[in-house]
Structure 1
Amino acid sequence: METKKSQAREYNSLFQLFKTPGAQIPQFFAYAGEDSYEFELIVDHYRETLQKTLGDFEVILIVSESGEQAKLFAELFTPDMFYPRKLIIIKNATALFKPILETKTTNEWKDFASGFRKNITSVSDEIYTLIHYDGKDVPKSLIDLFQGTLSFFKAKILYPNDYPKIFKEVCDQEQVHFEQNASEEFIHRIPANVGAYIKSVKKLKQYLHRSKFTIDDVNTVLFSQNELNTNVLVESLIQKRKVDFFKEFTKFSDQNSEILNFLTRLTYKLDEIRKIKVIRSRHNGEVPIPIMDELLKTASFSEARKNFVRRQLVTDSANFTDKLLDQFYDIVIEMNIKFKSGLRDEEGKNYFIQKIMHLFSLLQDKSSN
């Protein structure tokens, strides 16, 4: 009979993990991505599943502090007669495993890694481990450290044509239904990742105590005046509304995820503007709906939403030359690299504001020409 340790695999989606029968969930599982909420969803899923399959168990939290590697080693490999059933949760795993995985490491860490590899395949089946590897990938060296026992999921960038499919999967998972215009508003305004979608749907269920939602429900519950809306930031930048941009930015809560969501949304917006410009150049300034549906993946939109998107993109595209679009792309790529490499706190905020002011300046220069 196959053991859990021989079933290590890469999961294509979180829903694939959530639908795995309780007795078959991976014993060792890593999530690669910066979205901490998605990882918390995995933690909640494991807590609920293990309660049903194991009964009572102890939860151990491991963080990236000095000495935590030794704590992890002890919790995994030292028999415990009082708490034999455990769920070990490892956060900020990039920093925690760095000294262990580095090729030019000290003899102490080499011995640690050797002992880890030797013992990992004999860990009790009643000890489970979840790892938040806060980067874009699960390194091969970490997989090797777990000797083929580590299952994992890598968060993926979602593109506009992915949104309706992911939204439907979330609705099916949470057993909810949205009216057509409510679905469109949700997809248009919620940051495009599974964690944000599930978090928002759960919030609707919690506040309204029902499973069917209208556009008024979406606007009232999800878009309060106190939460940063990255769509407002993108639209106000593209439309050169500097006052509106910085009014919205006052809600910034010093989370890199907010800036990265903004940069992702801005990239999609620039892509849409580029495609609209191409369509208009090939169709005498017009934007035929069938062509827009094909290139911008708007086929699932209502006619009213399609016409609104077409009018808005035609207006927005007037603010951009091909050269200006290229300049925006270059700056967005630079900002992505900076923030994904760890730029944070006040330094990150000042850098962000500096770059945004430069983008506004480029738009203004175009208007003056």
Structure 2
Amino acid sequence: MSEWQDQSEIFNGTADTALKDARSADGNDRRGTTAFVFGDELADIADRDPRVAVLTADLARSNRAVDFQGRHPERFVNVGIAEKNMITAAAGMASCGYVPFAATFASFAALLGCEQIRTDCAYPRMPVRVVGHHSGMSMGFYGTSHHSLEDLGIMRTIADLTVVCATDENHLRAVLRASMDHPGAMYIRLGRGRDPEVYPTVPEIVFGRSIRLREGSDLTILATGSTVRPALDAAALLADDGYSTRVVDMFTVSPLDKDEVVASAAATGAVLTVEEHNVTNGLGTAVAETLFEAGVSGSRFKRLGVPDEHVILGPPAALYAHYQLDATGIATQAKELMR
């Protein structure tokens, strides 16, 4: 037991021989994590709402649930590395009047916990908020086991489950606040806590309604989560080349804002969806279904995401560039679509 404790101290950064450097506070890379406001915002909400509870599967530092733990330890539960049990326990807490937020890596939440999300949370319409953080390719070198490029496709096929992607720090605050009185279960998809600013202040949001961030007449970019900022930057690059681009934050993937999809296609004649997700069955597929079912004709359409393949290994920024999910790549794909 003491040997295991020693190893834990080394990797968690509490021992003198801890694997850390000036950029780390406890053995974990702390650069940029100030934008991860998950625990801090929920602690603020919990100050005035006794229903809030937070559960995590041994990732309190990674998702900053530790900030909630420090202020409301009586409503914090670390279940250990037992993601399925965490979601079922959250459903039980919801049945007793709590609004529990169960947080773990998105790859574990959606893939490991799919059955529990569907059967224990969505089917009985329990107000459980399953929070999948470090989604998409944001785990970089950790590889396929930690990449989450299927979660939107899985989650949006579950009935009575609201699927939301947080865009940046202020948008995450808005999502958490609005979720408190939202009926039924939710899957909330987060990035890695280093998301560049899109909203300078906390926006007013309604689940199921998108937010039009930029007007344009030549093309519409429908983006969600981590791709919203580069979509806006791509629109600026396109403007330099004479293209007028509408940008819409489709932060609710299910239920989708179908009215905005149809209106944007009719207004601009070209739609590009952008997502940090497999192109199969994510935002792009949802938009394609909407356009087809609405009978929209004459509009050009393209899905931009990760091809139907397992992602190569590398740092996130390099992966975004490789798959053309950065501003330059999005602008390039947009020009090809409009040509």
TM-score (norm 1): 0.29
Higher Cα Rg, which structure: 1
Relative to its length, the structure with more strand (as a share) is 2
TM-score (norm 2): 0.31
Larger RCO (CA within 8 A; separation ≥ 6): 1
Relative to its length, the structure with more helix (as a share) is 1
